[in-house]
Amino acid sequence: MRQAPRTMVISLQKAGTHLMQGLMVQLGYKMAGVPRPSPDNVPEFGDEELLQIASVTRSADDWAALRKLSGDELRRATRHDWTALGWSWQRRLGQRVVNRYGQRSYDHADEVITNPHISYSRFADTPPGLCWIFHELDIDKVDGAFLDEWVRTAAPPLFLNFRDPRDTVISMINFLEGRTPAGYGNFYEFDVFHRTLRSMKTWEEKIDYALRDPSFLGRDQFERSMWLLRHPDVCTVRFEDLVGPKGGGSRERQVGALSRILTHLSSDIDAEEIVDRIYNESSWSFFKGRSGAWQEHFTDRNAERFREQFGDLVEQYGYTW
């Protein structure tokens, strides 16, 4: 099977991240970034890959010592290196590590990494076979060296996955209130908004709060991702296209979206071979996975406020009122 050795998906919060993750797993990629670990998506590395990771994380002397090891000895000696490299790249890509996971995760990379030149490493030096998924790629925070590498090499293939902004509000409220199968996730900030939303009695109040609070999750994600939406080398994927007939879309649009994704990955797989395996209701973060749910919950007052604050975004991302 031919396809890009590594890729990156920027999936806006509550825009169907589980669909993109499920698709990438079907294509043989393992996950890095924000996806919750599970038996089918956690990468496993052999001796050669562990040494490659260590060549990035360790000093020359440390790496020389590791090269004398193999098997269980090597795995024990490098058991934290992949995690450290992952946290290091989250930092370089401007992810909110401390806010979401705590300072100890941020510090973990510094405790393991002994290579003083790690900031010079390329994204192409990360292990192959991985799909990195994040909820944002803020151009003001990301390491410029990554942007330079991406512009010069067109690698990794970059995707922006989004959904009707109005539906993301409803999906986020459902998620933070714990209506998904495994609750509302492990980001520490989720605990704060869970308590706040649960204290409110009506959908109108919850939606109004979500639109008013500038710190509410995902509130500015569409504005901050405009550079991705407009860049010709980013493949954009709409939830409404990828979800297919089981989620209220159409098979034709689903196959079309999948074909564009496969082309962007330089994959030789036929979309028809895997299209029926994308929609996954067993995902831990799945609730209903439908389009247009906002119309069931927005009052006229909610709709008016949304139009005032974000009306232009609806049109920018290709949706209508």
Q: Could you read off the pLDDT of 7-51 as tens digits, one per residue? A: 999 999 999 998 999 999 999 999 999 998 888 999 999 999 999
Average pLDDT for residues 114-122, to the nearest whole number?
96
Decide if pLDDT at 232 tops 50: yes
Average pLDDT for residues 199-226, to the nearest whole number?
95
Could you tell me if 137 and 10 are in contact, meaning their C-beta atoms sit under 8 angstroms apart? yes
Residue 189's pLDDT is 83
What is this structure's pTM? 0.93
> How far apart (Å, rounded) are the C-alpha atoms in residues 61 and 206?
56
Could you tell me if 268 and 1 are in contact, meaning their C-beta atoms sit under 8 angstroms apart? yes
Residue 282's pLDDT is 53
Counting other chains too, the contacts that 184-191 makes at CB distance below 8 Å and 24 or more residues apart are: 185/36, 185/285, 186/36, 186/101, 187/99, 187/100, 187/101, 188/99, 188/100, 188/101, 188/102, 189/99, 189/100, 189/217, 190/217
Percent of the chain having pLDDT more than 70?
94
Look up residue 138 and give its two tokens: 């803020």
> How far apart (Å, rounded) are the C-alpha atoms in residues 90 and 92?
6
> How far apart (Å, rounded) are the C-alpha atoms in residues 278 and 45?
26
Residue 291's pLDDT is 78
Handedness of CA 104, 54, 10, 29 (dihedral sign): negative
> How far apart (Å, rounded) are the C-alpha atoms in residues 137 and 92?
10
Question: What values do phi and psi take at 133, rounded to 5?
Answer: -120, 130
> How far apart (Å, rounded) are the C-alpha atoms in residues 204 and 209?
9
> How far apart (Å, rounded) are the C-alpha atoms in residues 82 and 75?
11
Residue 99's pLDDT is 84
Average pLDDT for residues 222-232, to the nearest whole number?
97
User: How many other C-beta atoms lie within 10 A of the C-beta of residue 262?
Assistant: 20
Which whole-number Å values give the CA distances from 318 to 44, 142, 256, 291, in the listed order? 39, 27, 17, 14
The answer, yes or no, to whether the previous bond of 156 is cis (omega within 30 of 0) is yes
> How far apart (Å, rounded) are the C-alpha atoms in residues 118 and 267?
31
The CATH architecture to which 1-22+129-321 belongs is 3-Layer(aba) Sandwich (3.40)
> How far apart (Å, rounded) are the C-alpha atoms in residues 199 and 55?
50
Percent of the chain having pLDDT more than 90?
76
Decide if pLDDT at 247 tops 60: yes
Give the SS3 label for residue 307: helix
> How far apart (Å, rounded) are the C-alpha atoms in residues 198 and 202?
10
> How far apart (Å, rounded) are the C-alpha atoms in residues 106 and 95?
10
List helix spans (H) across the chain: 17-26, 47-57, 60-66, 71-77, 81-92, 97-101, 103-112, 144-153, 165-176, 188-198, 203-212, 221-224, 226-230, 239-242, 251-264, 271-274, 294-297, 300-316
Residue 23's pLDDT is 94
Residue 284's pLDDT is 41
pLDDT mean across residues, the chain: 92
* Domain segments of the chain as ranges: 1-22+129-321, 44-128
Residue 190's pLDDT is 84
